[in-house]
Structure 1
Amino acid sequence: MLVTLTYTGPSATDLGFLLHKNPETAHVFDLSVGRAHVFYPVADDAQCTAALMLEIDPIELVRSKRFRGSGDGTLAHYVNDRPYASGSMMATAVGAVFRTAMTGRSDARPDLAANPMPLAIELSAVPVRGPVDLAARLFEPLGWQVTATELPLDDAFPEWGPSPYQAIRLEGTVRLADALRHLYVLLPVLDDAKHYWVSDDEVGKLLRAGEGWLAGHPERELITQRYLKHQRSYIDDAATRLAEADGVPALAAEGPVTPEAADAAGPAAGDDRAPLNRVRAEVVLGILRELGARRVADLGCGPGALLRPLLDDRAYVEIVGTDVSAGALAVAAERLQLGRLSDAQQGRVRLLQSSVTYQDDRIAGLDAVVLMEVIEHIDPERHAAVERAVFVAARPAAVIVTTPNREYNELYPSLSAGAMRHPDHRFEWSRGEFRSWATGVAGRTGYSVEFRDVGDVDERRGSPTQLALFRREDA
C-alpha cells in the first residue's frame, strides 16, 4: 500500500522537519507487519511530497504471537485474510514511522507544526467496506475535500464490476499532526478490519488519536464500533469517555466506570452533588469574576465547554479559545452557534488554532488566561516551553491552572492502583509536586501564586482537582 503526502507552500521542503525525515535520504523501517519505506518523489521549494510505502510480510504475521489471538488453530495462522487488512497495517506504519510528527512537535519549525497548512494526501488502493461515499462521510467533517474513485476488479473485464478498493485523494488546510491522526484512526475504519487482536488498551489509542475531533464527529458511533472491532465493552467504555469530552453526561451500560465518566455523571447514584467538571468550571468562572477580568483566553479549550458561559456574560469583552485541533475548534464554534450571533457578539470571540507550548502574540497582554485540565496532557520536558509561552511571552495579569490531584485517585474504586484518570495524561501530580512546580514558575516569572481546592475535600487525600491562581506582581 502506498500513501503520499504533499505540501505546497514557501520552503516546501520544511515538510521534512515536521515529519522528522530528511528529504535527501531514503528511510527504511522494520515493523512487526513487514517493512516501511519513506522517500520523497518531489522535494523543491514550491512542493514537497513524502511517500510511505508498506511491504507486508505474511510469514512474519504468522510467526508473531501478537497477531495470533487465542487458541491453537495452526492452519488458521497460515490460511486467513490478515495480510489483506492493509488499512490497519498502514495505520500501524503511520503510527510507528511518524510517531513524533503525530504529537505536533517540531523544534526546528514550531510555527509551521502548530498551524494548518495546505496538504494533499493520496491513498493508492484503500479497502473500503460500506457505502460508496464512506470516505467522504468520514473525512469531510474534518475539513477535507474528498475524491474517491472505485477501482475495477479487473481492467480487462469491466463487466465484473468494481472491486472493494478505492483510490482516495484528500485535500485541505489542516495541521500535519491532525492529518496523520485522521489517517491513523480512519484507515482501519474504512476497511472495518484489523490485523491484530484488540485488547483494552485499544480504547486509549483511539481516544489519544481522536482527541479534539472524534467527540464531535457526526460518525462517531460508526468510527468507535469499527475501530474497536465491534467489542461491546470497549465501545461502551469509549462512548462514556467521549461523552465526557463533549460535555454530555453519559455512563456506559457495560464495562468499567472511569473517573473521567464520574466527573460528568456525579459522585454516585442518588447523589445530588454537582458533577466535578461542572464544579471545576464554576470555580474558574468565580475566580475570573473575582479578578474583574474582561479579556480572557481559555488555552486548550477543546470543544468549548468554558467558552459558552463566558460568551453569555456580557462583562467579558474579549474571549479567546485556543486548541491545537481544528476539529475541536469546529465543535466549539458549533456549540457557541457563532454563525447565528450578531456581528457585535461575534466580535467578542476568537477561536484560534494554537499550541500552548509555542509563543502566540495573539493572546498577549490579556487580563486572564485559563489552563483547565491541560498541563497534565503535556510531556514534562515541554513544561519549560509552556512557561515561556504563557508566563513570559503572553504575560497576562493572571493565570489559572487546574489539574488532577493524584493522591485522590485511590477514592475511585474502578481505577487500578497507579493508573491515571485519562489515557492521554502524561503524568498526574501529587499536591506537593503541583505546589513545587507552581511556586517555581511564579518565582522565575514575577508572579505570586495561591492554591485552592476544587471539589469535596478528603481529610487525608485533599480535593480531586487542585488549582493554582497566579497574579502578575506588577499588574
Structure 2
Amino acid sequence: MQLTIRASGRDVQVLSYLLAKNPNHLYERQVNNHFVRMFFSKFSKEEVEVTFFVTPDPIELSRNNSERYEITSYINDREFVVSSIFCTFLRSALATALNGKPHEEYEHWVNHRFNLQFSFGPLSSQLSDNDIIDLFAPMGYKTTISAGEIDYHMNFKTKSSARYITVEGLTTLQMGLRQLFVLIPVLDNYKHYYIDDKEIEKLERYGEGWLDVHPQREFILRQALRFKDLYSLVEKQTEKGSNNQDNNDEIRTMRLNDLRYEKIIDSIRQIPFKDSIVDFGSGEGKLSVQLGFIEGVKEILAVEPSESASIKALKRYEKMARKENFLMPEQIIGSLFYFDERLKNKDIVILCEVIEHIDKHRLPKIMKTILNDYKPKVVMITTPNQEYNKVYKMNEEYRHPDHRFEWTRDEFREWCEIQNGKNDYELTFDGIGEEHELYGTPTQMCLFMRKEQ
C-alpha cells in the first residue's frame, strides 16, 4: 500500500516542513505489526517527491493465522489494499500535515496552494473508473486510473483487478490529504472499525471547506457512515450546528452498538443467577467492561482469540480498575472452536455479534459445545437482522465484509430451535434498535434459559 506526493514549482521544498519529515532521513515506524516507511525520491528547488509505504508483516500474519483470527477468521485484501486501515496507519505519520501544525515559522505555508499530485494504490473498489473520476473532478483534480500489470507463470490474465489512482491539481497539502482521508474509505466502501459519532466529527473536520459544496455529498456521507441512522444525524447536525449538545446526546443514544450493550446489560440485571459470565469474542472489551459494573456479578471471563485485541481490552479494564464497584474481567486467550474446562457450568454465556463471523457449517459444533458441554444456565445471542438491511438501503450483501451470512428473523428462529434439539432450554426472542413496521429491528436476540432453572 502506498501514497506518493509529488509537487512542482516554486518553494516546493517547504513541503518537508509541512510534513515534518527530514528529506535526508528514512522514516520508519511499526504500527500494529505493520511497517510504515517514508522516503524522498526527489528533493530539488522545483520538484519534490515523497512516498509513504505501509507493508504488512507476513511473519506475524502467518504466525497468528490459526489463533488470532479464529473467530473473526480472516486475512483478506483489506490488509494489502488502500483502505481505512491504510489511512489509520498513515494518520500518525501525516499528523502534522493533516492538522496544519508545522513549526511556527512555517505556519503561513499551510494555506499555500501547490501544484500537487497524489498517487495511491492498489485500490479494490466496486466503483467504475468514471465514478471515481466524478468524485475528484468537483475539487478541481485531473484523475488518471491504471491497472497493475501481473507477471503470472500461468496464463490467467494480464491485468490486476486492483487499480492505481493519481489525482492532480492546485491545492494545499492539508486540504489534499484531508480529502484523501475522507474519500479513500468511500472508494473502498469498507471500514475496519465501528462507525460512531466520532466519524461525524472527523468528517466535519476533514470535510471543512469542500464537502458541504461537493455535488456528491450525500453519496459520500452514505458511504462514509454506512448506516442510515448516522447519515440522518449528520444531516440534522448540518441544520442545527455541530456544537449542539442536544444533538450530540441524540447521536449517542442512537448508536446501535450502545443499544445492544444496553439490552444485554438490562437483560442480565433481570436474571436472578449471574455470579459468573462468559463473554465470547470479547474483542477490545467494550461489553466486558460494562459487565464489570453489574451488581451481583462475581466473575467475568472475557474470551478472545486475538492477542492485540486482548491487550487493548486489558488497558480498557485497567482504566476502570479504580472506579467504585468495578469487577475486573479475566482475559482468556481462547476460541469457540476449542473446549476449555474453565468455561463449564457458568451462569451466563454471551455471543454478541459473533456467530455471523463464522461459517454456517461450523456453528452446530460450537453450539453443541456450549449447550451440551459447558451447560450454562443462560445463553444470549445477538446477530444482525438481514431484513432490516432494506431500511439502510445498502448496496452490499452484508453489513460487514467479514460476515459469512445474515439471517432473517424466521431463519434465526429456526436455527435457534434446531440448536435446542434436546429441548433443554426455553427460547425467548427479542429485538434491539428502532423497530420498522415491516422489517423489524436492526439486531435480533435470542435468550436460551435452561428449563431446570
Which of the five TM-score ranges fits, normalised by the shorter chain?
0.5 to 0.7
CA 1:408–1:259 in 2, change beyond 3 Å: closer, same or farther? farther
Q: May I ask how many residue pairs the two structures share in their alignment?
A: 301
Q: 2:287 aligns with which of 302, 306, 312?
A: 306
The residue matched to 1:244 in structure 2 has which SS? coil
User: Residue in 2 aligned with 1:380?
Assistant: 360
The offset of 1:249, in angstroms, is: 4.0
1:369 aligns with 2:349: yes
User: Residue in 2 aligned with 1:294?
Assistant: 275
The offset of 1:410, in angstroms, is: 0.8
Q: TM-score, normalised by structure 2?
A: 0.55
Contact conserved, 2:265 with 2:294, CA < 8 A, in 1?
no
State the alpha-carbon separation in 2 of the partners of residues 463 and 393 from structure 1: 32
State the alpha-carbon separation in 2 of the partners of residues 173 and 352 from structure 1: 22
For 1:421, give the aligned amino acid: R
Contact conserved, 2:222 with 2:231, CA < 8 A, in 1?
no
State the alpha-carbon separation in 2 of the partners of residues 174 and 350 from structure 1: 25
1:175 aligns with 2:64: yes
User: Residue in 2 aligned with 1:275?
Assistant: 255
State the alpha-carbon separation in 2 of the partners of residues 458 and 176 from structure 1: 40
1:317 aligns with 2:298: yes
State the alpha-carbon separation in 2 of the partners of residues 169 and 406 from structure 1: 35
- Per mean C-alpha deviation after superposition, the further-off stretch among 285-294 and 354-363 is 354-363
The residue matched to 2:254 in structure 1 has which SS? coil
The offset of 1:341, in angstroms, is: 2.9
The offset of 1:171, in angstroms, is: 7.8
Q: 2:28 aligns with which of 123, 134, 137?
A: 134
For 2:285, give the aligned amino acid: G
For 1:199, give the aligned amino acid: S
Q: 1:352 aligns with which of 316, 322, 332?
A: 332
State the alpha-carbon separation in 1 of the partners of residues 183 and 323 from structure 2: 46
For 2:286, give the aligned amino acid: A
Identity %: 23
Contact conserved, 1:392 with 1:445, CA < 8 A, in 2?
no
CA 1:267–1:306 in 2, change beyond 3 Å: closer, same or farther? farther
State the alpha-carbon separation in 2 of the partners of residues 183 and 409 from structure 1: 24
The residue matched to 1:421 in structure 2 has which SS? coil
User: Residue in 2 aligned with 1:443?
Assistant: 421
Unaligned runs of 5+ in 2: 4-22, 40-52, 91-117, 128-175, 208-216, 237-246
- The two structures, once aligned, show a CA RMSD in angstroms of 4.6
Alignment of 1:72-471 (within 5 A): 132=26, 134-139=28-33, 175-177=64-66, 178=68, 181=75, 185=79, 196-200=122-126, 232-235=182-185, 241-244=191-194, 249-251=198-200, 252=203, 255-257=220-222, 261-262=226-227, 265=230, 268=233, 269-270=235-236, 272=250, 274-292=254-272, 293-337=274-318, 341=321, 348-413=328-393, 415-416=394-395, 419-444=397-422, 446-471=424-449
State the alpha-carbon separation in 2 of the partners of residues 281 and 263 from structure 1: 20
Contact conserved, 2:125 with 2:188, CA < 8 A, in 1?
no
**1:367-396: CA deviations, max 9, x gaps?**
101111111111101111221232122221
State the alpha-carbon separation in 1 of the partners of residues 392 and 124 from structure 2: 26
Contact conserved, 1:249 with 1:264, CA < 8 A, in 2?
no
Contact conserved, 1:404 with 1:428, CA < 8 A, in 2?
yes
Contact conserved, 1:263 with 1:277, CA < 8 A, in 2?
no
Contact conserved, 2:345 with 2:374, CA < 8 A, in 1?
yes
State the alpha-carbon separation in 2 of the partners of residues 400 and 135 from structure 1: 42
- Per mean C-alpha deviation after superposition, the further-off stretch among 366-375 and 302-311 is 302-311
State the alpha-carbon separation in 2 of the partners of residues 359 and 181 from structure 1: 24
CA 1:412–1:314 in 2, change beyond 3 Å: closer, same or farther? same
The offset of 1:176, in angstroms, is: 3.4
